[in-house]
């Protein structure tokens, strides 16, 4: 919600905040699916790696990413097609409706990105890379994205559009970094690491697993 805070210092701040609040509410509604997918894929990947099923873990992440991406695309297309209609559901101010229409393409792009990024984060967390995810989030969003948005919004006088573009670029960089990490992952090696981690923290021994399987 930093975007709304920064918009409060722009000229004609009331209209900017009203339009952004509408867009942010729609964005939050649409990413509920991706947040659920984040939790689901995190648990699934961790379970499959712990069970020494690297191929299943990889297949699960592919399905989750594609599914979440397609859902984001469908929602974005619906918003773009109805951009002349849906703003009136939230406000009767003509200037607010006009700004929401102008921001709809950015909102659509943000929905697609924010439907993929949480899934990739969930995969990384499930694989035990929590530290890496934290550093990537901080570097891409707070160190790069927000300052870029402030430069575009205030210095280059792009207004609320510039602030949002900067944050979107930060999220895109974050998504690309996570995608590269996931793409370059050796899942057989990660399964072995997960097995060692289970042994370290008191998981069942191989002999116990074999006895359970035989029984």
- What pLDDT is attached to residue 214? 52
Instruction: Identify the DSSP state of 10.
Output: S
Arithmetic mean of pLDDT over the chain: 86
- In the block, which residue shows the tokens 């790696």? 49
Q: Where are the alpha helices (DSSP H) in 82-186?
A: 94-126, 130-137, 146-150, 159-183
Residues in Cβ contact with 183 at an 8 Å cutoff, skipping those fewer than 6 apart: none
Structure tokens belonging to residue 199? 């042994």
Rounded Cα–Cα distance for residues 54 and 52 (Å): 6
* Residue pair 184/39 in contact by the 8 Å Cβ criterion: no
Determine the Cα–Cα distance for residues 79 and 212; give it in Å rounded to an integer: 53
Q: Are 96 and 22 in contact (CB under 8 A)?
A: yes
Q: 11 versus 206: which is more confidently predicted?
A: 11
Q: Is 90 helix (H, G, I), strand (E, B) or coil?
A: coil
% the chain with pLDDT above 90? 37
Q: By mean pLDDT, which of 60-69, 103-112, 175-184, 186-195 is the weakest?
A: 186-195
Whole-angstrom distance, CA of residue 111 vs CA of residue 120: 15
Asked if 57 and 191 count as a contact pair (C-beta separation under 8 A), the reply is yes
What's the predicted TM-score (pTM) here?
0.83
Instruction: Name every residue whose Cβ is closer than 8 Å to that of residue 85 and which is 6 or more positions away in sequence.
Output: none
d(CA 50, CA 195): 6
Whole-angstrom distance, CA of residue 45 vs CA of residue 155: 44
* pLDDT of residue 72 exceeding 80: yes
pLDDT (tens digit per residue) in 109-151: 999 999 999 999 999 888 888 888 889 989 998 899 889 988 9
User: What are the boundaries of each domain within the chain?
Assistant: 13-199
User: When comparing pLDDT for 12 and 161, which is higher?
Assistant: 161
| pLDDT at position 110 | 92
The distance in angstroms from the start CA to the end CA of the chain is: 55
Q: Cβ distance 54 to 48 under 8 Å?
A: yes
Rg (Cα) of the chain, in Å, rounded? 21
């Amino acid at each position: 919600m930093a975007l709304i805070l920064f918009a409060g210092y722009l000229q004609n701040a009331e209209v900017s905040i009203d339009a952004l609040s509408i867009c942010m509410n729609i964005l939050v509604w649409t990413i509920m699916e991706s947040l659920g997918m984040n939790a689901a894929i995190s648990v699934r990947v961790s379970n499959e790696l712990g069970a020494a099923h690297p191929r299943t873990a990889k297949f699960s992440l592919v399905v989750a990413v594609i599914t979440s991406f397609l859902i984001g695309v469908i929602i974005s297309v619906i918003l773009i097609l109805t951009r002349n209609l849906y703003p009136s559901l939230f406000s009767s101010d003509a200037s607010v409706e006009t700004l929401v229409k102008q921001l709809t393409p950015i909102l659509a792009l943000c929905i697609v990105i924010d439907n993929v990024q949480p899934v990739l984060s969930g995969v990384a967390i499930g694989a035990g890379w929590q530290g890496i995810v934290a550093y990537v989030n901080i570097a891409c969003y707070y160190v790069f994205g927000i300052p870029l948005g402030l430069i575009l919004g205030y210095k280059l006088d792009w207004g609320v559009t510039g602030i949002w573009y900067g944050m979107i670029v930060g999220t895109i960089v974050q998504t690309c970094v996570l995608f590269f990490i996931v793409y370059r992952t050796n899942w057989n090696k990660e399964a072995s690491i997960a097995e060692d981690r289970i042994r370290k923290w008191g998981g069942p021994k191989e002999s116990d697993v074999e006895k359970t399987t035989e029984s």
